[in-house]
Structure 1
């Protein structure tokens, strides 16, 4: 569908269930232009007709804000996700990955999503934030329902339950600071002109949810792409230097975040030849842009040796994904440790039988059954 739309033009009028009519951007040039146009704002107050975009976000977060509020909020947490801070986390991420792999059977069929791709990033972001291990599973259940709701009612219920959990965690950290990111945010909120209670809840919600959902999707999709392209898997096994390019190609080929948060036109503008009226809603498809044939040779081919993979998998501009370094590191480590641990990994089902959970925001596998054979000398 994206390919058909791109062939007809860069911007199209569509209807999004539970939200409404909006403009969809599907080419890479138009996407970059939209993501850097200051007239397209993230604050829904600029919408002429919408009061909600159909989601169940908690509090007030960076994705719903524009400068100077966005700048202030991002500055509060940006230092925790720098390349240097993420590099320092590598040993811990590796230890968590190895622990999960050791718990897998030495051979047989395993769901790599529930046993590996999911618990790894959940554990990492929860440890960074300071969420107790006992709450990891509950937190993800609510998060998953929020991001890919089974129904509007279920999404609303999950939002209320997760908000209650977040408020309880904030209260605990405020009463007993422990040096974790959530604790630091709770302390910052106690300072004048720092964080409002609504912004604090929104910040915790965004970091916890965005801090793992996309990475779960990315690890799963990267492994799926390798398993359905065995020649590419063989290349990676033969040359570990292809690990980073593999992550980038997976981001391009199976873009986890299909589209950005909605933008709203604060003033009339021309977007790649399409007039956008003030108050109109705009959705930028990162997935469509990352397969634009004008920028990628044979865009529907998964190629880990592809040169200059300038995709938009993590967005672009002011709202470029804050956690991109962490997501890249977790995915690279997850793939490297899994391949090192198992001599044989094969898809255990017909690819057509797999289920992809979809929304305007995310696309992810519900499960990924694989057959494993452990390397000789590796212990459980």
Structure 2
């Protein structure tokens, strides 16, 4: 068995094998450095909330897998912090990124979805990733942050270069990081002078009861995180969900008949084929034992959300898509203090994207036999999703 290759090319099969034989396994991380991979639900869930597993890179031993390297002005984000810094920043962001704000965005998300579908016409073939699943989240995130329309294409290109860099052109990712840093620095300065009704303006203005506020690097890093994580997760949630329904037409038909089931269905679709194979890397602050394996202090721990979500000990028949399943406790968007800050927005986007698609097209069928998945140890998403569509049903015989 080529474990490293299978983890990228056939992740669910590889995770099944590891859950059964080696639930804590030493592997090479995405950039080649060693890390420990944890795959069972009963180990992954508590580890996500274990304070002995730090997100702070200062706890990493020499030579351990550390993940993406970013400039300091982009690195001061919630994915690299532990309490009390994490607690402070999350509290401040939470004052600006409220459930009320997300709820108020729903009509605008639906309008954008409808506009993208309008552009497809009433019949044809399209790559739904390019025409729908990708442009919808970038529009939502740019609206959320108050980014002008004429920069949306740049942001999509920059983010794609970070998510799926070309190994033969490492300079592209570096240039994308530099461009994003320069843009956000200028945008934050502009928002200070001309605040508007958007999340970035609110994050600049927000203070807690003691007058604390977000610093310049914290603001820049948070804007970068909202864009990169919000875009990537939503594209993959939408694309993976549509693909799962296309390959399970009986479920697609049920949702057409009763769209009220979409919120519950979205949870099962996220469990079944979530956007993240792995949670953000963690570093052991002391020797820690998981499933009878002792991980030395300073070494990197990778917690597999995808493996845990298909653990039969927690979800019976986990490889079966079941829209009636009790999905409570699924880990597609994390768990504990690092639970995805944008989870309510991600849920709204996938529910609205599916509702608009089903409302618009009475016929929606796959136009390719084998989907092309992004080759990644970390993320689970489609490169393309070719479909044939028609806005009206064919006449009865």
TM-score w.r.t. the length of structure 1 is 0.93
* Helix, strand or coil at the partner of 2:374: strand
Once the two structures are TM-superposed, the CA of residue 56 in structure 1 deviates from its matched residue by 3.8
In 1, Cα distance between equivalents of 2:294 and 2:332:
26
Q: Decide which of 352, 355, 368 is 2:372's aligned counterpart.
A: 355
Are 1:107 and 1:373, in contact at CA under 8 Å, matched by a contact in 2?
Answer: yes
Query: Is 1:176–2:181 an aligned residue pair?
Result: no
Structure 1 residues 8 and 257, CA gap change in structure 2 (3 angstroms):
same
Task: Measure the CA separation in 1 of the matches of 2:190 and 2:63.
Answer: 36
Distance 2:202 2:247 in 1: 43
Residue by residue, what CA displacement relative to the aligned partner does 1:83-133 show, whole Å, maximum 9, x if unpaired? 333222211111111111111121010111111111111111110111111
In the alignment, structure 1 residue 45 sits paired with structure 2 residue 63: no
Name stretches of at least 5 consecutive residues in structure 2 with no aligned partner: 1-13
Matching residue of 1:114: 130
| Worse overlay, 48-57 or 331-340 | 48-57
Matched, 1:99 2:115: yes
CA contact (8 A) 2:96 2:206 kept: no
Alpha carbons of 1:188 and 1:86: their partners in 2 closer, same or farther (altered >3 Å)? closer
The question of whether the paired residues in 2 share the 8 Å contact of 1:225 and 1:250 is answered with yes
Matches of 1:27 and 1:63 in 2, distance apart? 23
Shift of 1:272: 2.6
- Residue 67 (structure 1) aligns with: 83
2:277 is aligned, of 258, 270, 288, to 258
269-278 vs 149-158, which moves further: 149-158
What pairs up with 1:1-380 in 2 under 5 angstroms?
A: 1-50=14-63, 53-57=66-70, 58-151=74-167, 152-187=170-205, 194-350=213-369, 352=370, 354-375=371-392
Q: 1:312 to 1:60 in 2, by over 3 A?
A: same
**Aligned-pair Cα RMSD in Å:** 1.9
Q: Is the 8 A contact 1:142 1:162 kept in 2?
A: yes
Change (3 A) 1:120 1:80: farther
What is the CA-CA distance between 1:187 and the residue it aligns to?
4.1
SS of equivalent residue, structure 1 residue 297: coil
Tell me, yes or no, if the aligned pair for 1:108 and 1:371 is still in contact at 8 Å: yes
CA distance in 1, matches of 2:61, 2:67: 15
Q: Which runs of 4+ in 1 moved over 4 A?
A: none
Q: Which runs of 5+ in 1 are unaligned?
A: none
Task: Classify the secondary structure of the residue corresponding to 2:332.
Answer: coil
Q: Is the 8 A contact 1:81 1:326 kept in 2?
A: no
CA distance in 1, matches of 2:279, 2:60: 16
